[in-house]
Amino acid sequence: MHYTAAWQQLHWSDATYVLMASVRTLQLSFTAVLLGTLLGIPLGLARALSPVMRVLTAPLVDVVRSVPMIIQLIIFDTCLSISGWPLSAFQLGTLALGAWMAMVTAEIVRGAYEAVTPSLRRAARSLGMSSWQELRVVSLPLTLRGGFPAWVGAALCLVKDSALVGIFGYIELTKAGQILNARTHRTFLVLGGIGATYFFICHVITFCTRRIERRMAE
């Protein structure tokens, strides 16, 4: 009777609400991952190829990777508000999460580039390739392949960290769960369903990326 009464307080419209919140979570996560990847790859290569760039960017990379995301979001929001550039919750989340993803991607790319066997680079240069050709044809493909699993792990972390943007009013998956729980007071059912939705999203992403990884290894 208890569980029957609990389900009676949840409606099909709530499922639609959670579905739309899931879409918003994916929109935020995809945008932040795309931004972070586009910025992180060239930054990582610069850190790998230039000792000066590595020294100059090391403090920024270490700070962004070490400070909790919730603090970074609050700092982003405060600084932008003071500067007179208030952003929407989506824009704020994209910038903060994208900055974190960029720093993590940069470290992944740097490590993967340094893991490429130097003899392969020397062999490419002995064939008459320029430094740019060697990077484009040999080092970069091997770097991206080697760093792909770690990049996927970072992307999955970002999907889960996107829940923190809800404190600024963005209705993503966790925020939607909090709203439903406040209305129904069915914590186990609501948050259990939200957790299952996160699991499904991450499982699908993992499944798809593993197939991509196998294709890259062929």
Domain that holds residue 113: 2-217
pTM of the model: 0.88
Structure letter (DSSP) for residue 127: T
Query: Residue 3's pLDDT band (boundaries 50, 70, 90)?
Result: very low
Which tens digits make up the pLDDT trace of 147-206?
Answer: 999 999 999 999 999 999 999 989 999 999 998 888 888 888 888 989 999 999 999 999
In contact, 112 and 144? CB cutoff 8 Å:
yes
Q: Mean pLDDT over all residues of the chain?
A: 88
| CATH number of residue 102's parent domain | 1.10.3720.10
Contact assessment for residue 201 and residue 160, using Cβ atoms and an 8 Å cutoff? no
Q: How many domains does the chain have?
A: 1
Closest of 194, 164, 156, 158 to residue 21, by C-alpha: 194
Asked if residues 109 and 41 have their Cβ atoms less than 8 Å apart, the reply is yes
